[in-house]
Protein backbone atom coordinates (compact mmCIF):
# COMPACT_ATOMS: atom_id res chain seq x y z
CA UNK A 1 0.00 0.00 0.00
CA UNK A 2 1.26 3.45 -0.88
CA UNK A 3 1.88 6.02 1.80
CA UNK A 4 -0.74 8.70 2.15
CA UNK A 5 1.52 11.70 1.58
CA UNK A 6 0.41 15.33 1.61
CA UNK A 7 0.96 15.48 -2.16
CA UNK A 8 -1.20 12.42 -2.69
CA UNK A 9 -3.96 13.91 -0.51
CA UNK A 10 -3.77 17.23 -2.38
CA UNK A 11 -4.05 15.44 -5.72
CA UNK A 12 -7.03 13.35 -4.62
CA UNK A 13 -8.73 16.41 -3.12
CA UNK A 14 -8.31 18.33 -6.39
CA UNK A 15 -9.92 15.55 -8.45
CA UNK A 16 -12.80 15.33 -5.98
CA UNK A 17 -13.32 19.10 -5.89
CA UNK A 18 -13.10 19.62 -9.65
CA UNK A 19 -15.79 16.97 -10.29
CA UNK A 20 -15.37 17.66 -13.99
CA UNK A 21 -13.36 14.68 -15.20
CA UNK A 22 -10.19 16.80 -15.30
CA UNK A 23 -7.04 16.02 -17.25
CA UNK A 24 -3.75 15.58 -15.40
CA UNK A 25 -2.79 19.09 -16.47
CA UNK A 26 -5.98 20.55 -15.00
CA UNK A 27 -5.41 18.71 -11.72
CA UNK A 28 -1.84 20.01 -11.64
CA UNK A 29 -3.01 23.62 -12.10
CA UNK A 30 -5.63 23.21 -9.37
CA UNK A 31 -3.06 21.84 -6.90
CA UNK A 32 -0.34 24.33 -7.92
CA UNK A 33 -2.72 27.24 -7.39
CA UNK A 34 -2.66 26.55 -3.64
CA UNK A 35 0.75 24.83 -3.47
CA UNK A 36 2.98 26.44 -6.12
CA UNK A 37 6.06 24.42 -5.21
CA UNK A 38 4.52 21.07 -6.18
CA UNK A 39 5.93 19.62 -9.37
CA UNK A 40 3.94 18.47 -12.36
CA UNK A 41 5.64 15.05 -12.14
CA UNK A 42 4.52 14.63 -8.52
CA UNK A 43 0.89 15.32 -9.40
CA UNK A 44 1.01 13.04 -12.46
CA UNK A 45 2.63 10.23 -10.47
CA UNK A 46 0.04 10.55 -7.71
CA UNK A 47 -2.81 10.51 -10.25
CA UNK A 48 -1.50 7.23 -11.64
CA UNK A 49 -1.05 5.75 -8.16
CA UNK A 50 -4.55 6.85 -7.12
CA UNK A 51 -6.06 5.28 -10.21
CA UNK A 52 -4.10 2.05 -9.74
CA UNK A 53 -5.34 1.83 -6.14
CA UNK A 54 -8.96 2.40 -7.23
CA UNK A 55 -9.42 5.69 -5.38
CA UNK A 56 -10.11 7.48 -8.67
CA UNK A 57 -10.77 6.21 -12.18
CA UNK A 58 -8.45 6.94 -15.09
CA UNK A 59 -10.30 7.37 -18.36
CA UNK A 60 -8.16 6.81 -21.43
CA UNK A 61 -9.60 8.93 -24.22
CA UNK A 62 -8.56 7.93 -27.76
CA UNK A 63 -6.83 10.85 -29.53
CA UNK A 64 -6.95 12.93 -26.36
CA UNK A 65 -5.56 13.40 -22.90
CA UNK A 66 -6.46 10.97 -20.13
CA UNK A 67 -9.15 12.23 -17.76
CA UNK A 68 -9.69 11.35 -14.10
CA UNK A 69 -13.03 10.63 -12.47
CA UNK A 70 -13.79 10.90 -8.77
CA UNK A 71 -16.74 8.52 -9.24
CA UNK A 72 -15.40 4.97 -9.39
CA UNK A 73 -18.61 3.01 -9.91
CA UNK A 74 -19.43 1.70 -13.38
CA UNK A 75 -21.05 4.40 -15.52
CA UNK A 76 -20.77 5.92 -18.97
CA UNK A 77 -19.46 9.22 -20.27
CA UNK A 78 -19.88 11.61 -23.18
CA UNK A 79 -17.04 13.77 -24.55
CA UNK A 80 -17.56 17.05 -26.33
CA UNK A 81 -15.82 17.05 -29.70
CA UNK A 82 -15.29 20.82 -29.56
CA UNK A 83 -14.04 21.63 -26.06
CA UNK A 84 -12.92 18.13 -25.01
CA UNK A 85 -14.79 18.18 -21.70
CA UNK A 86 -16.09 14.85 -20.42
CA UNK A 87 -19.45 14.49 -18.67
CA UNK A 88 -21.25 11.67 -16.88
CA UNK A 89 -24.06 10.21 -18.96
CA UNK A 90 -27.41 9.41 -17.35
CA UNK A 91 -27.76 5.89 -18.69
CA UNK A 92 -28.31 2.55 -17.05
CA UNK A 93 -25.08 0.56 -16.90
CA UNK A 94 -25.14 -2.63 -19.00
CA UNK A 95 -23.41 -5.38 -17.01
CA UNK A 96 -21.39 -7.97 -18.93
CA UNK A 97 -21.59 -6.00 -22.19
CA UNK A 98 -18.27 -7.51 -23.28
CA UNK A 99 -19.96 -10.93 -23.40
CA UNK A 100 -21.91 -9.65 -26.41
CA UNK A 101 -18.73 -9.53 -28.51
CA UNK A 102 -18.91 -12.36 -31.03
CA UNK A 103 -15.21 -12.58 -31.95
CA UNK A 104 -12.55 -11.13 -29.65
CA UNK A 105 -9.79 -11.83 -32.19
CA UNK A 106 -7.70 -13.79 -29.70
CA UNK A 107 -7.86 -11.10 -27.03
CA UNK A 108 -8.53 -11.90 -23.40
CA UNK A 109 -10.78 -8.99 -22.57
CA UNK A 110 -10.22 -7.27 -19.25
CA UNK A 111 -12.91 -4.61 -19.45
CA UNK A 112 -14.04 -1.68 -21.53
CA UNK A 113 -14.66 2.03 -21.48
CA UNK A 114 -17.65 3.33 -23.37
CA UNK A 115 -17.47 7.03 -24.19
CA UNK A 116 -20.13 8.63 -26.35
CA UNK A 117 -19.21 11.72 -28.32
CA UNK A 118 -21.06 14.83 -29.41
CA UNK A 119 -21.27 18.58 -28.88
CA UNK A 120 -22.02 19.80 -25.35
CA UNK A 121 -24.83 22.32 -24.81
CA UNK A 122 -22.38 25.14 -24.09
CA UNK A 123 -20.43 24.63 -27.33
CA UNK A 124 -23.60 24.04 -29.28
CA UNK A 125 -25.07 27.32 -28.04
CA UNK A 126 -21.89 29.31 -28.72
CA UNK A 127 -21.55 28.05 -32.29
CA UNK A 128 -25.21 27.70 -33.19
CA UNK A 129 -24.66 24.05 -34.16
CA UNK A 130 -26.99 21.24 -33.27
CA UNK A 131 -25.59 18.49 -31.08
CA UNK A 132 -25.62 15.97 -33.96
CA UNK A 133 -23.31 17.59 -36.52
CA UNK A 134 -20.19 15.91 -37.75
CA UNK A 135 -18.23 19.03 -38.69
CA UNK A 136 -16.36 19.61 -35.45
CA UNK A 137 -12.93 21.13 -35.06
CA UNK A 138 -10.28 19.25 -33.06
CA UNK A 139 -10.01 20.01 -29.37
CA UNK A 140 -7.73 22.92 -28.49
CA UNK A 141 -6.16 21.85 -25.17
CA UNK A 142 -4.32 25.17 -24.70
CA UNK A 143 -7.59 27.07 -24.97
CA UNK A 144 -9.15 24.63 -22.50
CA UNK A 145 -6.25 25.09 -20.05
CA UNK A 146 -6.50 28.88 -20.33
CA UNK A 147 -10.26 28.71 -19.66
CA UNK A 148 -9.62 26.39 -16.70
CA UNK A 149 -7.05 28.82 -15.28
CA UNK A 150 -9.49 31.69 -15.68
CA UNK A 151 -12.18 29.67 -13.90
CA UNK A 152 -9.89 28.80 -10.98
CA UNK A 153 -8.53 32.34 -10.64
CA UNK A 154 -11.96 33.89 -10.05
Q: What is the pLDDT of residues 104-143, one digit of tens each?
A: 899 988 888 888 999 999 999 987 655 444 443 444 444 4
What is the 8-class DSSP label of residue 74? Answer: S
For residues 18 and 69, is the Cβ–Cβ distance under 8 A? no
Which domains are seen in the chain, by residue range? 1-71 (1.10.10.10), 73-143 (3.30.1490.190)
pTM (global) more than 0.85: no
Q: What is the pLDDT of residues 118-127, one digit of tens each?
A: 999 999 998 7
CB atoms within 10 A of CB 79: 23
Give Dmax (Cα) for the chain: 52
3-state SS of 21-46 is CCEHHHHHHHHHHHCCCCCHHHHHHH
Amino acid sequence: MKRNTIQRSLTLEAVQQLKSHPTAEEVYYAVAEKHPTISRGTVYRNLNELSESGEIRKMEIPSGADHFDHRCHDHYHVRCLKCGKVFDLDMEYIPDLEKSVKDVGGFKLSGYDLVFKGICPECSASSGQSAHTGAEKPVNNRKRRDENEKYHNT
